[in-house]
Amino acid sequence: MNPALTQFGEQMSHLTGVRAIMKDIIETLKTSGGRDFINLSAGNPVILPEVEQLWRDCTEELLASAEYGEVVCRYGSSTGYQPLIDAVLADYNRRYGLALSDRNILITPGSQSLYFLAANALGGYTTDGALKRIVLPLSPDYTGYGGVTLIPEALKAYRPTLEIEAADHRFKYRPDFSQLQIDSTTGFVLFSRPCNPTGNVLTDDEVRKIAALADPLDVPVFVDSAYAPPFPSLNFTEMTPFFGRNIIHCVSLSKAGLPGERLGIALGDERIIQVLEAFLTNMCLHSSRYGQAIAARAIQSGRLADLSTRIIRPYYQAKFNVLQTALDAAMPGELPWFLHRGEGAIFAWLWLKDLPVTDWEFYQHLKDVGVILVPGEPFFPGLDEDWSHKHECFRISLTASDAELETAMQRLAQVATQVYAAAPAMPQATVQV
Ligand SMILES: Cc1ncc(COP(=O)(O)O)c(C=O)c1O
């Protein structure tokens, strides 16, 4: 059958961003003929024994309780399962001195769906035909933002400034406030903090400044806190979650070990929460109640926040250190390579300045030596302008073993050396951007 698709059907039936590359990766692994690859593409968190045990314990407690039938044999409220709502509100209100109530919270089936709801309720065309933009103030950012809107022209990302520490081969993105426009055409602002793919953490001041630009216009700012404290606490640098009149703080339970249960949480202004809740009800009623019930236990008892800082954060921070030490040792000092400062999340982000081939071609060369990482271009959703930097970056997952990370960085250094050497003029490590 070949049914006629609507405009939305046409758009939503294509894989966007990194998911299209994942298809190539799966194909490569399937047809490898038994050849071993070091796969550094994974976005799936590592199953850490202590974290798995926590979810096992919470499940056993749930099974042994009278609550079980209520949880799995019944539909529930679209706002969320009440014990989870109570646990989250108590935790955040106590931790951050807030006064959030039931009207300020919505549980969603994963946080990706939360961005879909926001993108299509607050971005796109208004009833009088005006285009409201989804503003990503610092590109690159989460590739999933590329697939959430039904109106692709609504997505608008801004190129960052680059802070380069040439001697150390490190760099960091900063929002370019001289370019960033938040005005009456803005539907809402969205960014991840800590950021997937770069590991960047926008500073408290930067977040405050963005929020202050949006506030007088009644523009909501969605802070994607999938890696933020208090769970999974995948920040390696100090950061304070930021709350305010126009902030929608968005949490995910995925990197705290529960990606399969699909749990996202929105915290913020009651009017926005109501809009998102109605949209969610129309779409799919509510998130899985089993996931919500075990999350309620893990949060209410403090076990999740404790494991996050004691187990999850140190695990990935140590991986980042292994990776940066391996790169420092293997990469020739004269090549213009720059690793983004590792401030959080579960990825490293490498920039090969003036790379003589595209990120896609370099990815293919790496596959030839048995290493898979993700080319950077799909992490610039909404940034339509031509910018060579978009084809010079790579996301490296920190979910591999130490030995795999070390070997992969050695092979990457060899491939980079060959690729730069084959180019007409060898670029220098000292750069001007
Ligand atoms: C920054 C960021 N936001 C959102 C998501 C989506 O997470 P969820 O599993 O909660 O839908 C991810 C998943 O990797 C992510 O990295």
The whole-number pLDDT of residue 374 equals 95
Rounded distance from Cα 324 to ligand 1 centre (Å): 24
Give residue-wise pLDDT tens across range 282-300: 999 999 999 999 999 999 9
Residue 141, ligand 1, Cβ within 6 A: no
Residue 254, ligand 1, Cβ within 6 A: yes
Phi and psi angles of residue 2, each rounded to the nearest 5 degrees, phi first: -135, 75
Between 153 and 427, residue with greater pLDDT: 153
Contacts of 382 (CB under 8 A, 6+ apart): 134, 136, 139, 145, 146, 155, 156, 157
Residue 198, ligand 1, Cβ within 6 A: no
Residue 110, ligand 1, Cβ within 6 A: yes
- Single-letter code of the amino acid located at 363: Y
Q: What is the DSSP letter of 242?
A: -
Give residue 267's Cα distance to chain centre. 18
Mutating to test ligand 1, I would choose from 44, 112, 138, 399 the residue with most ligand atoms within 8 A of its C-beta, which is 112
Give residue-wise pLDDT tens across range 156-166: 999 999 999 99
Phi and psi angles of residue 221, each rounded to the nearest 5 degrees, phi first: -115, 115
Q: What is the DSSP letter of 401?
A: -
The whole-number pLDDT of residue 43 equals 81
Residue 428 has pLDDT above 80, yes or no: no
Domain residue spans in the chain?
Answer: 7-49+307-421, 67-302
Residue 144, ligand 1, Cβ within 6 A: yes
Confidence of residue 427 (pLDDT cuts 50, 70, 90): low
Residue 423 has pLDDT above 90, yes or no: no
Residue 11 has pLDDT above 50, yes or no: yes
Classify domain 67-302 at the CATH topology level.
Aspartate Aminotransferase; domain 2 (3.40.640)
Give residue-wise pLDDT tens across range 201-251: 999 999 999 999 999 999 999 999 999 999 999 999 999 999 999 999 999
| Mean pLDDT along residues 272-289 | 96
The whole-number pLDDT of residue 432 equals 40
Give residue-wise pLDDT tens across range 32-44: 888 899 999 988 8
Rounded distance from Cα 252 to ligand 1 centre (Å): 7
Structure tokens at 42: 């994974």
Confidence of residue 31 (pLDDT cuts 50, 70, 90): confident
Classify domain 7-49+307-421 at the CATH topology level.
Aspartate Aminotransferase, domain 1 (3.90.1150)
- For 261, how many CA atoms within 13 A lie in the half-sphere containing its CB? 23
Structure tokens at 34: 């038994």
Residue 187 has pLDDT above 50, yes or no: yes
Cis, peptide link before residue 232, omega less than 30° from 0: yes
Give residue-wise pLDDT tens across range 77-104: 999 999 999 999 999 999 999 999 999 9
Residue 355 and residue 419 in contact, taking contact as beta carbons nearer than 8 Å: yes
Residue of the nearest CA to atom 12 in ligand 1? 226
Residue 59 has pLDDT above 70, yes or no: yes
The whole-number pLDDT of residue 196 equals 97
Conformational region of residue 344, where left means phi above 0, alpha means psi within -120 to 50, and beta covers everything else: left
Ligand 1, closest atom to CA 345?
Answer: 16
Residue 381 has pLDDT above 60, yes or no: yes
Confidence of residue 26 (pLDDT cuts 50, 70, 90): confident
Rounded distance from Cα 417 to ligand 1 centre (Å): 34
Residue 261, ligand 1, Cβ within 6 A: no
Give residue-wise pLDDT tens across range 383-404: 999 999 999 999 999 999 999 9
Phi and psi angles of residue 13, each rounded to the nearest 5 degrees, phi first: -90, 5
Residue 229, ligand 1, Cβ within 6 A: no
Token pair 């250190």 is at which residue? 321
Give residue-wise pLDDT tens across range 312-358: 999 999 999 999 999 999 999 999 999 999 999 999 999 999 999 99
Tell me the pLDDT of the chain averaged across its residues: 95
| Mean pLDDT along residues 117-145 | 97
Residue 111, ligand 1, Cβ within 6 A: yes
